[in-house]
Amino acid sequence: MNKAAKQPWLKPLVFAAALSPLLWLASRAVRGTLGPDPVAEVLNRLGLYAISLLFCSLACTPLQIVAGWSWPLRVRRMLGLFAFFYACLHLSTYLFVDQGFDFGGIAKDVAKRRFVTVGFAAWCALVPLAITSTQAWVKRLGFRRWKSLHRLAYLAGGLACVHFIWRFKTALLQPVLFTAILVVLLGIRLAARVRAPARRMSVPSQSR
């Protein structure tokens, strides 16, 4: 039976849910309730949304492994693209508002500050994934090569965690929790691989 026909609400629902933090942020900006440092607030929120959505996209396959659900796989691409969308907004806020087009300062920042370097690397890792997210690119690359490429998402997740941890001067709960979640997600995939090597060949193909 066609699952997409069975759950026609799935994609619109996930789309609305993924977009809602941005609308909430925009509404706070309009109402002037972003606090005394709105730039920092917007920058930090966008970063949090980016890493959260990236983690949602990374959780799809482990969810399928653990719970046996297939619906997360059908929204994985959308979640990944939303993660990239928020990462772009986060980066743009840093470049154009926080640093105010001061490209000399930005170049220095990216090269010298490891926390900025790592954040930028995480964004870079997402770029090829966003570009090759279409069905046409899966065909062009071949599924196995495409899949290998898309393991970069885990690298991006790891880099995002390091970026998050290094941002603070003292150890904080949030970044540590994200890192723990990443370890759990990766652990589920590895455990599934060890227990059922055949799975490697049988990941369901993407549906639109």
Partner 1 sequence: MRIRSSEITPKALYLRRRELLALGAAGAGALLLPRHARAAETPHGRKLDGVKAGQPSTEEKKNSFEEITHYNNFYEFGTDKDDPARHAAKLQTRPWTVKVEGECAKPAAFDIDELLKLPVEERVYRLRCVEAWSMVIPWDGFPLATLLEKVQPTSRAKYVAFETAVQPKNMPGVGAFGAIPFPYLEGLRIDEAMHPLTLLAVGMYGEELPKQDGAPIRLVVPWKYGFKSAKSLVRIRLQETQPPTTWSQYGGGTEYGFYANVNPEVDHPRWSQAKERRIGELFRKPTQKFNGYADQVGKLYAGMDLRKFF
Nearest CA to 78 out of 4, 11, 158 is that of 11
CA distance 136 to 117: 32
Closest contact distance (angstroms) between CB of 140 and partner 1 is: 26
121 belongs to the binding site for partner 1 (CB under 8 A):
no
Closest contact distance (angstroms) between CB of 12 and partner 1 is: 20
132 belongs to the binding site for partner 1 (CB under 8 A):
no
DSSP H stretches of helix in the chain:
3-6, 10-31, 38-67, 71-92, 103-112, 114-131, 135-141, 143-150, 152-167, 173-195
35 belongs to the binding site for partner 1 (CB under 8 A):
yes
Q: Do 129 and 153 contact (CB within 8 A), yes or no?
A: yes
3 belongs to the binding site for partner 1 (CB under 8 A):
no
139 belongs to the binding site for partner 1 (CB under 8 A):
no
Q: Do 79 and 126 contact (CB within 8 A), yes or no?
A: no
110 belongs to the binding site for partner 1 (CB under 8 A):
no
36 belongs to the binding site for partner 1 (CB under 8 A):
yes
Residue 152 token pair: 């970069």
30 belongs to the binding site for partner 1 (CB under 8 A):
no
115 belongs to the binding site for partner 1 (CB under 8 A):
yes
| Mask for 44-83, x = binds partner 1 (CB under 8 A) | ----x---x--xx--x--xx-xxxx---------------
- b/e map 89-126, b = 16+ CB within 10 Å: bbbebbeeeeeeeeeeebeebeeeeeebbbbbbbbebb
Query: Interface with partner 1 by CB under 8 A: which residues?
Result: 21, 24, 28, 33-37, 39-40, 48, 52, 55-56, 59, 62-63, 65-68, 97-100, 102, 105, 108-109, 112-116, 166-172, 174, 177-178, 181, 184, 188, 191-192, 195-196, 198-199, 201-202
